[in-house]
């Protein structure tokens, strides 16, 4: 079944189409949810909630742009709503007033990491920084979109993203230093992060 047919079947509420949609995308959407909550059981609950929302809202998909990208945003929104309810997105510190100087991260540190290794390191970020990092570096939300979603200033988002990159670099350094990942040889093929860190 082609994607457009599958979407149309879901719009009509056909059980077979919905089952196929779930089976095709559940593993990837579980990974999306787990990057925000870092707890597999909670992530599973959010994934199920996300599919309910997806099937309720799928008729609003305009057909322009990637359906996968549109769908991922449904699941990110579901995860963010959960975090708001659980007060994990409280920004008590005014990030704009933090004395923080952005330092360009050493991208070579990420060379020995597989995608799975990188996501494991991201999971060690404090929740506020992990959310911003995921939204910008992985889901490709703009700073302005993140600011609107999280109700903080755009400059605050930029500062928080910069801080999250530096924290991630420190996490990777500790894990490489502990021998969890081998340093690559010069000519060895490497795995890059999912998106180039700006």
Alpha helices (H) in 13-153, listed in sequence order: 15-37, 40-57, 67-85, 115-122, 127-133, 143-150
- Determine the Cα angle at 23 with ends 17 and 27, to 5°: 145
- Compute and round to an integer the Cα radius of gyration of the chain: 18
pLDDT for residue 42 is more than 90: yes
* pTM recorded for the entire structure: 0.75
- pLDDT-based confidence at residue 70 (cuts at 50, 70, 90): very high
CATH of domain 95-177: 1.10.10.10
The structural domains of the chain, with segments of one domain joined by +, span: 3-85, 95-177
* Contact between 79 and 37 (Cβ < 8 Å): yes
Percent of the chain with pLDDT over 70: 76
Dist CA 158 CA 185 (whole Å): 34
More confident residue, 175 or 37: 37
Q: What is the pLDDT at residue 191?
A: 34
Dist CA 153 CA 126 (whole Å): 19
CATH of domain 3-85: 1.10.1740.10
Dist CA 130 CA 107 (whole Å): 18
pLDDT for residue 99 is more than 80: no
What is residue 102's DSSP assignment?
-
Tell me how far the alpha carbon of residue 193 is from its chain's centroid: 13
- Token pair 């979603």 is at which residue? 149
Dist CA 22 CA 19 (whole Å): 5
- pLDDT-based confidence at residue 32 (cuts at 50, 70, 90): very high
């Amino acid at each position: 079944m082609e994607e457009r047919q599958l979407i149309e079947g879901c719009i009509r509420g056909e059980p077979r189409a919905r089952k196929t949609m779930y089976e095709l995308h559940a593993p990837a959407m579980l990974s999306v949810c787990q990057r925000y909550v870092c707890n597999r059981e909670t992530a599973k609950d959010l994934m199920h909630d996300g599919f309910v929302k997806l099937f309720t809202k799928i008729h609003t998909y305009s057909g322009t742009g990637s359906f996968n990208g549109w769908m991922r945003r449904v699941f990110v929104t579901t995860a963010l709503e959960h975090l708001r309810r659980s007060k994990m997105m409280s920004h008590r510190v005014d990030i704009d007033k933090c004395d923080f100087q952005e330092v360009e991260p050493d991208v070579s540190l990420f060379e020995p990491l597989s995608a799975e290794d990188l996501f494991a390191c991201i999971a060690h970020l404090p929740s506020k920084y992990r959310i911003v990092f995921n939204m910008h570096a992985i889901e490709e939300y703009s700073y302005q979109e993140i600011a609107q979603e999280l109700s903080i200033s755009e400059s605050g988002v930029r500062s928080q993203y910069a801080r999250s990159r530096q924290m991630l670099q420190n996490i990777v350094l500790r894990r490489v230093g502990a021998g969890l990942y081998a340093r690559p040889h010069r000519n060895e093929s490497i795995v890059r992060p999912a998106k180039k860190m700006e």
